């Protein structure tokens, strides 16, 4: 098994004001997965993220850019990337954050599991995982949210809210992506619930989440509400699966 992504794989990076972080991130992706294509979905960042990507494309044709009209939410950005992966017939979609909090060096480990699983989650809460540089409050909120997800929904997954994931694109095709309702971080729990209902085989690999060093955090009270709303929907989906 090669530790590199096949040419039929796409790395998705959703951005808003990540111009300072992208040079190092794209270099790290290239080093970890030199055969991967990269898609940047940018929400019209005022710091000129999209302009930087367009300049970078002149020397790296494997980087594609979709610039949207405004700040439309992480969930809709990921969904845009999923549609792109389906339309361009990729086999695998790797999603990671654009702020260097997710280390691309983990991608080869994810790739090594692709024959056995449909979704590989980079997990902060399995053995070997963790968080660095985060405030105690953020750690407490994150742990509580994942505990709540396991209690409300009945999942055995330790990190339900991690955005660092590798999806089998064929499994994404079984989901009505445009029917998903969450536009923010809650999308992560919502898509997870639908994939599990569709029979996706899921596993977790340890990651150490590094709090961003450059730029500002995107998480807000509204995003927390979105995540809770997604858990309510996920719980309903889980119950309907058990009845079915």
Sheet holding 9-15, edge to edge: 63-67, 37-42, 9-15, 92-97, 165-168, 119-123, 202-206
Predicted TM-score (pTM) of this structure: 0.86
Q: Which of 84, 83, 82, 89 is nearest to 8 (CA)?
A: 89
Local confidence band at 2 (pLDDT 50, 70, 90 cut-offs): very low
Contact 4, 111 (CB under 8 A): yes
Domain residue limits, the chain: 9-243
* pLDDT tens digits, one per residue of 44-69: 999 999 999 999 999 999 999 999 99
* pLDDT tens digits, one per residue of 105-116: 999 999 999 999
Local confidence band at 224 (pLDDT 50, 70, 90 cut-offs): low
User: In CATH, what is the architecture of 9-243?
Assistant: Alpha-Beta Complex (3.90)
How far is it, in rounded angstroms, from Cα 91 to Cα 170? 7
Lowest-pLDDT range of 42-46, 98-102, 145-149? 145-149
């Amino acid at each position: 098994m090669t530790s590199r992504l096949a040419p039929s794989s796409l790395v998705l990076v959703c951005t808003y004001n990540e111009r300072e972080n992208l040079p190092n991130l794209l270099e790290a992706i290239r080093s970890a997965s030199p055969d991967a294509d990269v898609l940047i979905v940018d929400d019209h960042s005022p710091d000129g993220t999209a302009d930087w990507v367009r300049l970078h494309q002149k020397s790296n044709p494997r980087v594609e850019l979709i610039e949207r009209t405004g700040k439309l939410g992480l969930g809709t950005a990921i969904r845009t990337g999923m549609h792109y992966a389906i339309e361009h017939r990729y086999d695998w979609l790797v999603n990671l954050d654009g702020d260097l909090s997710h280390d691309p060096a983990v991608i080869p480990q994810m790739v090594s599991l692709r024959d056995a699983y449909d979704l590989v989650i980079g997990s902060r809460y399995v053995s070997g995982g963790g968080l660095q540089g985060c405030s105690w409050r953020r750690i407490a909120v994150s742990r509580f949210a994942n505990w709540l997800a396991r209690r409300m929904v009945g999942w055995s997954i330790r990190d339900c809210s991690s955005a660092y994931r590798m999806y089998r694109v064929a499994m994404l095709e079984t989901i009505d992506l445009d029917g998903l309702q969450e536009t923010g971080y809650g999308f992560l729990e919502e898509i997870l619930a639908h994939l599990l209902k569709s029979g996706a085989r899921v596993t977790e690999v340890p990651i150490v989440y590094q709090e961003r060093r450059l730029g500002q955090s995107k998480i807000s009270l509204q995003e927390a509400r979105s995540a809770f709303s997604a858990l309510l929907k996920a719980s309903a989906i889980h119950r309907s699966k058990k009845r079915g």
